[in-house]
Structure formats: structure tokens, C-alpha cells
Amino acid sequence: MIVRELELDLDAFEGPFDLLLTLVLKDELDLRDLDVAAIIIAFLERLDDAAQLDLEAAGEFLVLISALLELKARGLFPDEAAELAELEPEEAAEELARRLAEYRRMKEAAQWLRDRLDSEGDRFFRLGPAPLAPKVEQPLAPQSPERLADVLRFLAKEPAQVSLAHMALRFPPVAQFLDRFRAVLRKRSRIDFESEMTDLSRVEQAVAFLALLELRRNGEVTIEQAAPFAPIRISRTDVEREDSWTLRSA
């Protein structure tokens, strides 16, 4: 099939494709009135009638129809065409070289994709390991029987007993502070709780306070505190009775 002899019946043209190209190149036919889609449909119908694909004719048609599309696209942008026409010879040569280099890159990329498809077209990839993939066994390094025996003896030893003594809380007996407070109050009728606790730890101070509450519950002492966080005053109950009796007698 010869593409240039393709008969076309368009709104703006009727005749062979060769004549259409001649009229376009001589600017005797306005490209804006040319229906490129109708030309492509006519060519496809001609191919369908031939019942076989003519690669040479298809390649020639692609070149010619691409040229028509480029001319028509340039006609849509007259400013760009005028700008290209005003280029100096050196600038035009540089622009041509740039376009050729870009074309070469695209051609090399297309060739790379074609080679990649030819070499890997029959490969299929999947995500994750294959379900029946053989398991790789790690070989054991040479071991010494003596060293293995030493390790077994070490593992067979009874582990050392861990001491928890540092975690145990030791509370002094409450009776110790009961005796202490009673001995002090026998010498003095009134004492200050904080002054008696200066040399004790926090745990001992808590136990001493419990002893003080025990004395208060037994009625042996009275406790006074003027305000929150104020000093705690401790007095013997027999002193309170003597003061009360003296005040009534007076």
C-alpha cells in the first residue's frame, strides 16, 4: 500500500494524500480547515481493508501525519513561529543542536526500554519470599569438647543467693520510745517533740510519734500544738492536774 495514493474525502479537500501534502507545503490550503482525525480514520479503514499490517506504509504514514500535526500546532502559536524566524544563524544552530540532543536522549531511552523488555519480559516478580524457598542452614563452627564441658559445669552450679537485706525496712520497737519518753518526762514536766527527735531518722521519728500517741491514749501525757506545723508540746498529765488544783486553790 502506498500512503501517498491514499484517497481522502474531507470538507476542505478531496483527492490523494500526495496532493494534500503539496497544497499544504505551498500554503495553498489552510491547515486550520484540515481535519487530521478524519485522515487517520481513513488510513485505518484502508489498513482494515488490506487485512494485513504493512509496517513500511504505517511508518511512512506516521512520519507524514506527524509533520502535518507539527505544522498545524505551529499555526496555533504564531508568536513562537515568529520568534524562531527571528533567530540569528548561530542561535538557530544552537536551537537545532538542542532539539537534536533531546531527540537523541529520547531515542536512547526508548532503546533502553526496548532492550529491558526483551531481556526481562518473561520474568514475573512477587512480593515476599517464595513459600517453598529452601531454608539456609547455618553450619556450626568447630567447637572444643573441653570448653563445652566447662560451660556445662558452670551452668550446673547452684546460683548464689541474692541478699535482700538492703531492701528490708527495720522498725525499732514502739516500747523503746515509750520508755524513752517516760524517762525524759520524769525529769522534766514538759518537752518539745522536735527537740527530742533531732538525732533520729525518719523511720525512728515515725515510730516515736506512734509511741507518743500511745502515751496520749493511756492518759499519761497531753499534746498541744498552737497551729499546723507549729511545735508539738508534750506535758505530763499529773502536772496539768497540779496546775489546775493550784489555780482553784488560789
| Residue 146 forms part of a structural domain | no
State yes or no: pLDDT of 83 exceeds 70.
no
With the CA atoms of 124, 128, 133 and 138 taken in that order, what torsion angle do they form, in degrees rounded to the nearest 10? 140
19/43 same-domain check: yes
Whether 133 maps to a domain, the answer reads no
Q: Does the pLDDT at position 229 exceed 80?
A: yes
- Looking at the fold, whether 200 and 222 belong to one and the same domain comes out as yes
The answer to whether position 148 is within a domain reads: no
Q: In this structure, is residue 149 part of a structural domain?
A: no
Whether the per-residue pLDDT at 228 is higher than 70: the answer is yes
Residue 60 has pLDDT above 80, yes or no: no
Q: How confident is the model at residue 246 (pLDDT cuts 50, 70, 90)?
A: very low
Distance CA 224, CA 233 (A): 5
81 and 96: one domain? no
73 and 107 assigned to the same domain: no
pLDDT over 70, % of the chain:
74
pLDDT value at 248 more than 50: no
Q: Higher confidence at residue 132 or residue 230? A: 230
Assigned domain for 179 exists: yes
- The residue among 86, 107, 135 that closes a domain is 86
Which parts of 157-202 are beta strand (E)? 190-192
108 plus 34 within the same structural domain: no
Regarding whether 224 and 181 lie in a shared domain, the answer is yes
Asked, for residue 25, whether it belongs to a domain, the answer is yes
Q: How far apart are CA 236 and CA 240, in angstroms?
A: 7
Pick from 9-23, 79-93, 157-171: least confident:
79-93
Structure confidence by residue, pLDDT tens digits, 12-58: 667 777 777 777 777 777 777 777 788 788 878 877 777 777 777 77
State which residues form the domain around 95. 87-118
pTM for this one? 0.31
CB 224 within 8 A of CB 232: yes
What is the C-alpha separation between 185 and 189, in angstroms, rounded?
5
Domain final residue, candidates 40, 67, 86: 86
Listed range (142-146, 165-169, 204-208) with the worst mean pLDDT: 165-169
Query: What are 31's three cell numbers?
Result: 491547515
Coil, helix or strand for 221? strand
Residue (of 107, 16, 128, 27) closest to 75 by Cα position = 27
The structural domain count of the chain equals: 3
Q: What percent of the chain has pLDDT over 90?
A: 0
pLDDT of residue 247: 39
Mean pLDDT for 167-171 is 70
164: amino acid identity, one letter: L
Cell triple for 55: 509496517
Hey, what amino acid is at 111? Answer: Q
Establish if 125 belongs to a structural domain. Answer: no
Instruction: Mention every residue, 6+ apart, whose C-beta is less than 8 A from residue 122.
Output: none
**Residue 201: closest CA among 172, 168, 174, 221:** 172
CA 56 to CA 16: how far, in whole Å? 19
**Do the domain assignments include residue 138?**
no
With cell 510519734, the residue in question is: 209
Same domain, 217 and 202: yes
| In a shared domain, residues 8 and 77 | yes
Joined grid coordinates for residue 47: 489498513
Same domain, 50 and 108: no
pLDDT class for 245, splitting at 50, 70, 90? very low
Same domain, 10 and 64: yes
User: Per-residue pLDDT averaged across 202-229, rounded?
Assistant: 88
Query: Cβ distance 18 to 4 under 8 Å?
Result: yes
**What CATH number does the domain containing 174 carry?**
1.10.10.580
Q: Do 107 and 80 share a structural domain?
A: no
Domain end residue (candidates: 86, 107, 128): 86
b/e string for 86-96 if b means 16 or more Cβ within 10 A? Answer: eeeeeeeeeee
User: 89-137: per-residue pLDDT in tens?
Assistant: 666 667 667 776 787 888 889 889 888 888 877 776 666 666 676 777 7
Tell me: do 55 and 94 sit in the same domain.
Answer: no
